[in-house]
Each structure stands twice: as structure tokens, then as C-alpha cells.
Amino acid sequence: MKKINKYNLDKENKVTDENFFNNRRKIMASALAFPFLINSNAHSSSQKKLSFNKDLDYSTNEKTNTIKQITSYNNFYELGTGKRDPMLNASRLKSDDWNLTIDGLVENPLTLDSEDLIKKFQLEERIYRLRCVEAWSMVVPWIGFELRSLINLAKPFHNAKYVSFESILDSENLPGQKRDILNWPYREGLRMDEAINPLTMIAVGLYGKVLPNQNGSPVRLIVPWKYGFKSIKSIVKISFVEEIPVCTWNEQAPNEYGFYSNVNPYVDHPRWSQKRERRIGEFGKRDTLLFNGYSKFVSNLYTGMDLEKEF
């Protein structure tokens, strides 16, 4: 493996200034584009506000993307395969009466609703980079709590080696699930040591309010050193298991999407390079950082592993 240059946050480029972005959008917006940007902003502003503390230990000091960018450019195949589809179809996701089931190899199985997740855990805001496998990225002010807080509550048995996640299945309402794009429901998984890493987060909000539907309401996973598809949205079940769980994209195309899916500029996707990325709101590209810039927190998890073979 090639030598990795030391990460220097001060040398990173800044995200496009929000005022400049808004003005640029006004100039470039067509009659079709302008209404959905307004709708996105209006939808976000109607969300319930959350109480939280700001975390400085794990947050990046990079400028966050704007709420319009974060809520209008998404991967969420349940709501459609286009980047604008999740915003346009957000109302199709029914998040009322939501229950999250925690089961499997645990001493304390749980069923929690959305309010439980907000009230039972101390919420904090963490500004994390999100790097998607298609080589675009964002900086998002997520609000949530460490997954290990939920794990401690469930009390997994010693033979629970992995954590499995399952997303909503509602083919009646979700337009993407009316088609055989993927093997629904969407599923993901982590090794236990990855799950209890303090960076691994359960998000229930962003920008001070509960998650918009297009961003994975009401509860999603955030694993900031992995490609974005590992951060499963709209979770309905978390299970503790002994064997490697089925993961949707790894099942769909194992030669393209490995179980670990750590951000690694030296392991190309079969159809494109991962060495560079485009930050949404910026005109140029920047170098991709190993582990998305979180090496000092997570590199010890993969000591002795060949990151090109176990990708």
C-alpha cells in the first residue's frame, strides 16, 4: 500500500459560501428547479427542533453544506434512484408511529419509538464528512448519539460479533420499492468493534431539527469513515448476530461493494477512481482522504488487514 500523507485539516479547501451558493442558484435555476429548492427549504423549516450539545472532540471544523444542498441531493433508493427523487418523493415515507426493534443475541431486547430515541439519549451535534461511493461528498451537522449507548442498553452477549441493520419495507408507498432495483428491504452491517467505535452515530436530526424524510427519517446510521451507503437510512431493526450479516450492495455487486467499504483512495471502484472527490457546492475536486480523514480514530480497527483485498 502506498504511503499516506499526514492529514492536515488546515490545508483543506472550504465549501462554497452559503450566500454565494444561494445567489448562484438564483442565477442558474430554471423554472422547474427553483420551486423544488423552495419546497426543500420549506419542508426542512417545518421540522421539530431538537435540544442538543455541540461536540468538539470528533467534529470537523470544515464549513458545513447548506440545508438546501443536504436535503436536495441524496441517495435513497426507496424514494427513487435520481439524486432529486428523495426530496420530490419525501412525503411518501410514512414516519408516524415508528418503532425500532433491537433483538438477536442480547440480554435486553428493546422496542423504541422516535420519541424514545430523542428522550432516552443525550443528543449532540457532530459535524461529519459524508463521502459517497460515486465520488461526491458533503459536510453535515448531524444530531444524534453514539451507537454504543444503544448497544450498552441492549447488553449483547459475548458471541454477538456483528450488528445487522434493516431499513423500512413499504412497497405500497415507497416508489423505489415498487421496482426490483435491490433486494428489499435495505440491509447493512458492522463488525462489533466498528459499531462501538465512538465515531459511529445514530442520527435523529440535522441542522438543529429532526431528520427530513429524504435524509433517512426518523433514525439512521452514520459511519463517517465508510462510504455513504453503509450509513443505512430509516432503520426499523437492529440485530446482534454471530456471523457476517447480509449487506444489500455487497449482496448485489460483491466485486464493487465490499463488506467493509472503508473510504480508501487506493482502492478504485471497478468503474471509476476513488482518488478524487467533488464536494457538493464546489466547482473543482479535492483529494480523497484515507478513512475519509478519520484515520487517527479508526485505523487501529484494521491492523494487519489488507485493505485492498478486504475492501
DSSP 80: -
Which domains does the chain possess? 14-302 (3.90.420.10)
Q: What is the pLDDT along the chain (311 residues), one digit of tens a residue?
A: 433 333 233 333 333 333 433 443 333 333 344 344 434 443 444 579 999 999 999 999 999 999 999 999 999 999 999 999 999 999 999 999 999 999 999 999 999 999 999 999 999 999 999 999 999 999 999 999 999 999 999 999 999 999 999 999 999 999 999 999 999 999 999 999 999 999 999 999 999 999 999 999 999 999 999 999 999 999 999 999 999 999 999 999 999 999 999 999 999 999 999 999 999 999 999 999 999 999 999 999 999 999 999 99
pLDDT at 46: 58
Count CB-CB contacts under 10 A for residue 50: 18
The CA distance from 217 to 220, in Å, is 7
137: buried, middle or exposed (CB in 10 Å: 19+, 13-18, 0-12)?
buried
- pTM for the full model? 0.86
The CA distance from 311 to 304, in Å, is 13
Q: pLDDT tens digit string along 66-80?
A: 999 999 999 999 999
Average pLDDT over the chain, rounded to an integer: 88
Q: Which residues pair with 126 in a beta bridge?
A: 142
The CA distance from 124 to 112, in Å, is 19
**Radius of gyration of the chain from its Cα atoms, rounded to whole angstroms:** 19
pLDDT at 47: 78
Our CA angle for 75, 196, 279, nearest 5°, is 30
Q: What's the number of CA atoms in the CB half-sphere (13 Å) around residue 125?
A: 18
Which residue carries 500523507 as its cell?
Answer: 5
pLDDT at 119: 94
The CA distance from 29 to 23, in Å, is 10
- State which amino acid sits at residue 287: D
